[in-house]
């Protein structure tokens, strides 16, 4: 009998909950819209209570959620969603509410770190110890591992809010980030593309100038992460990256911007295997939540 875990992927518009023992053994799944924290968390708890009646007690629950989050286990507000602009969700004790309602250990991390964990365990980052995962969608977010540990630290990485060069002559768009205007997310997220050009990103043909600019901005972000974190791989997901033609554009821009400074065959010769799409696709987030539950039940030695 396999040990069973629960995973919750909490997104701004919907929740996905699964129950299973791993990638090949997902036994049940539920999806519902994200409304108030009380109602949405109650639905998640109800799903796992019903599942436990059929499958027996779970070993742990993992939560992969939009943030920002308090991930400091010594903080009184550990497990909270903190300052999110999402209406009604600021200062929500997400992990604590689930833990008390189900009397189970709860793993808790950002949606992007959880996705990175799933890609490490089952997908594109297997065997690596330092890599990053970026989502380019409604926002831009990043997570990943350094030396086989998910990146935490002071708070957690906020890679989307990087400052990058913005040539206002070539691109007068002021940027859409409510905090910074023309940070990377403000220039290159899906909503930024839509505001700049007046139509949703998914409506542009591959030859539209939006894509060369998008590749340039994403590559500017990437060279900074390459220089600071030295990732062995960069995995890209999110709605905007469904434009598969962006990958070669980004790879070429990254090579151009690095100017031959990093003498790594991974970048100079094998960049097609260095900047890659997710292997697990849309399921990576909720599988990451399951992986967080596994790690919570069997923590790594300190
Ligand atoms: P979220 O970030 O909210 O989880 P997505 O990753 O799907 O959701 O990102 C949504 C954004 O991605 C929207 O701005 C949308 O315009 C853009 N998007 C979705 N699908 C595509 C596509 N096929 N091509 C380009 N952009 C897309
Ligand atoms: Zn910003």
Tens-digit pLDDT profile for residues 77-100: 999 999 998 999 999 999 999 999
Residue 135 alpha carbon to ligand 1 centre in Å: 10
State if residue 201 touches ligand 1 by the CB under 6 angstroms criterion.
Answer: yes
* Edge-first strand listing for the sheet containing 61-65: 25-33, 14-22, 5-10, 61-65, 106-110
pLDDT band of 302, cuts 50, 70, 90: low
Over residues 114-131, mean pLDDT = 98
Question: With a 6 A CB cut-off, is 10 part of the ligand 1 pocket?
Answer: no
pLDDT of amino acid 231: 98
- CATH fold of the domain at 5-112+282-297: Nucleotidyltransferase; domain 5 (3.30.420)
Q: Which residue CA neighbors atom 19 of ligand 1 most closely?
A: 239
If you measure from the C-alpha of residue 274 to the centroid of ligand 2, how many angstroms do you get, rounded to a whole number?
26
Task: Indicate if 124-278 has the same CATH topology as 5-112+282-297.
Answer: yes
The DSSP call for residue 181 is: B
Q: Which ligand is nearest to the CA of 162?
A: 2
Q: Whose CA is nearest to atom 24 of ligand 1?
A: 202
Tell me, what's the pLDDT at 301? 72
| Residue 300 scores a pLDDT above 80 | no
- Is the pLDDT score of 15 beyond 70? yes
Rg (CA), the chain: 19
Report the percentage of the chain scoring pLDDT > 70.
99
Please identify, in words, the CATH class of the domain defined by 124-278.
Answer: alpha beta
Q: How far is the CA of 137 from the centre of ligand 1 (A)?
A: 5
CB of 115 shorter than 6 A to ligand 1? no
Closest CA to 111 of 74, 153, 78, 156: 156
Which pLDDT band, with edges at 50, 70 and 90, does 1 fall under?
A: low
Q: Which residue's entry shows tokens 């968390």?
A: 41
Model pLDDT for residues 52-83, shown as the tens digit of each residue: 999 999 999 999 999 999 999 999 999 999 99
DSSP annotation of 172 reads -
Q: What is the mean pLDDT of the chain?
A: 97
pTM above 0.95, yes or no: yes
What does the domain layout of the chain look like in residue ranges?
Answer: 5-112+282-297, 124-278
**pLDDT at site 27:** 97
**Ligand 1 pocket member 190 (CB < 6 A):** yes
Ligand 1 touching residue 285 (CB < 6 A): no
Find out whether the beta carbon of 195 lies less than 6 Å from any atom of ligand 1: no
């Amino acid at each position: 009998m396999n040990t069973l875990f629960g995973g919750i992927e909490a997104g701004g518009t919907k929740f996905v909950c699964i129950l299973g023992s791993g990638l090949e053994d997902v036994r049940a799944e539920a999806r519902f819209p994200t409304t108030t924290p009380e109602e949405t968390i109650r639905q998640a708890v109800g799903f796992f209570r019903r599942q436990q009646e059929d499958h027996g007690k779970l070993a742990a629950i993992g939560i992969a959620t939009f943030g920002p989050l308090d991930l400091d286990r010594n903080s009184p507000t550990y497990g909270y969603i903190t300052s999110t602009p999402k209406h009604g969700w600021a200062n929500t004790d997400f992990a604590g509410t689930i833990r008390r309602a189900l009397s189970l250990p709860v793993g808790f991390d950002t949606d992007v770190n959880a996705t990175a964990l799933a890609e490490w365990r089952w997908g594109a980052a297997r065997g690596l110890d330092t890599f990053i995962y970026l989502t380019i969608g409604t926002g831009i977010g990043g997570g990943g591992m350094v030396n086989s540990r998910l990146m935490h630290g002071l708070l957690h990485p906020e890679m989307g809010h990087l400052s990058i060069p913005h040539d206002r002559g070539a691109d007068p768009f002021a940027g859409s980030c409510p905090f910074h205007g023309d940070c990377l997310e403000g220039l290159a997220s899906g909503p930024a593309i839509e505001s700049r050009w007046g139509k949703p990103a998914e409506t542009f043909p591959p030859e539209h100038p939006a894509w060369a600019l998008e590749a340039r901005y994403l590559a500017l972000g990437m060279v900074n992460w390459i220089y600071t974190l030295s990732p062995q791989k960069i995995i890209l997901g999110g709605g905007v990256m469904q434009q598969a033609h962006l990958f070669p554009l980004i790879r070429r821009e990254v090579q151009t911007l690095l100017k031959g400074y990093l003498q790594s065959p991974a970048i100079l010769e094998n960049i097609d295997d260095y900047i890659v799409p997710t292997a697990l696709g849309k399921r990576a987030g909720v599988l990451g939540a399951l992986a967080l539950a596994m790690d919570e039940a069997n923590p790594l030695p300190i």
